[in-house]
Amino acid sequence: MAGRIESLVEHGFRLGERGAYFSAREELLEAVRLVAQSLDAEAGGQRHALALARGMKALAEAEDFQMAGERLDAEYNAADLARGHKTPVLKEGAVSPASPLEAMQVYYAYAEGQLAEAASSETVASRAWYALAKLQPFLVGQDTAGMVPAPRALVLHRVALRIDGQNYLAQNELAVLLARYGRYEDARQLLERSAQTCPLPAAWQNLAVVYRELGWADRSQHAEQQARQLAGQPVDESTLLVRLVEPDRFRSTPTQSEGFSEVARAPQPSTVRPGTKR
pLDDT, position 79: 74
Whole-number Å distance between alpha carbons of 6 and 8: 5
Q: Degrees (nearest 5) of the Cα angle 150, 151, 156?
A: 95
Contact criterion met (CB below 8 Å) for 278 and 244: no
Kindly report whether the global pTM for this prediction surpasses the value 0.95.
Answer: no
Contact criterion met (CB below 8 Å) for 182 and 210: no
Crossing angle (nearest 10°) for helices 149-163 and 123-139: 170
Whole-number Å distance between alpha carbons of 54 and 77: 22
Per-residue pLDDT of the chain (278 residues; tens, 9 = 90+): 889 999 999 999 999 999 999 999 999 999 999 999 999 999 999 999 999 999 999 999 988 887 665 555 456 677 778 888 899 888 756 666 667 788 888 999 999 999 999 999 999 999 999 999 999 888 875 444 334 457 899 999 999 999 999 999 999 999 999 998 899 999 999 999 999 999 999 999 999 999 999 999 999 999 999 999 998 854 444 333 333 333 333 333 333 223 222 223 344 566 665 555 44
Nearest to residue 48, comparing CAs of 106, 102, 119?
Answer: 119
Cα distances from 64 to residues 60, 72, 145, in angstroms, run 8, 14, 11
**C-beta atoms surrounding 149 within 10 Å:** 19
Whole-number Å distance between alpha carbons of 251 and 19: 6
pLDDT tens-digit readout, 158-175: 999 999 999 999 999 999
Contact criterion met (CB below 8 Å) for 104 and 117: no
pLDDT tens-digit readout, 87-122: 988 875 666 666 778 888 899 999 999 999 999 999
